[in-house]
Amino acid sequence: MLEFSDKPVLQAKPSNRLLWIGVSLIAILLFTIIFRLIRARAEKMLQSPQKANEVLAVITNSGSTNAPGSTLTILKDGSGSLTYQKGAQEERFSRFVNKTFPRGTFESNQLENMLIQIKDVGTIPNRDCLKSVSFGSTTTITYQGKTSGDLSCLSNEDPKIFLDLKKLVQSMLTHV
């Protein structure tokens, strides 16, 4: 015949019980953290192509007597496209050909960091400065729907971040 007893079959000491509870909580916590990291990485991988094609900024050059105006569109992945506005002077400016640039051509991360620091490029002043009649042009940058003043007219009196942006934009324009 079977006998039943009130005594537990396995009796754990209170300190062992706390140890098992602690280990279980740590295991659950680690599992949760690892799961969230994997999920975040997967979401990032799925979103990357979409975000890579997002326009970061548009750099516009007015052109001059000797060169047509141009628009350099920079995407978040560092790729871009250059489009010339030749207008009625198509034949005269035939050597200027629209171009596309592969991912990583431009320092998009550095540019984005500067633009985030500046917040509103509309705060970049539009100063007057002396320019050559034949080669003088105006260079602006558009970010988040706002357009800067002429970057080429910034001087040492302007904030360092504006001057750093001017330098970066000038270096990007040398790629074209």
What is the value of pTM for the model shown? 0.68
How far is it, in rounded angstroms, from Cα 48 to Cα 20?
Answer: 42
Cα distance between residue 18 and residue 119, in whole Å: 52
pLDDT at res. 135: 73
Give the 3-state secondary structure of the chain: CCCCCCCCCCCCCHHHHHHHHHHHHHHHHHHHHHHHHHHHHHHHHHHHHHHHCCEEEEEEECCECCECEEEEEEECCCCEEEEEECHHHCCCCCCCCCEEECCCCCCHHHHHHHHHHHCCHHHCCCCCCCCCCCCCCCEEEEECCEECCCHHHCCCCCCHHHHHHHHHHHHHHHCC
Q: Which residues on adjacent β-strands are paired with residue 82?
A: 72, 99
Average pLDDT along the chain, 176 residues, taken 10 residues at a time: 60 70 85 79 59 84 85 94 83 85 92 94 89 80 94 92 94 82
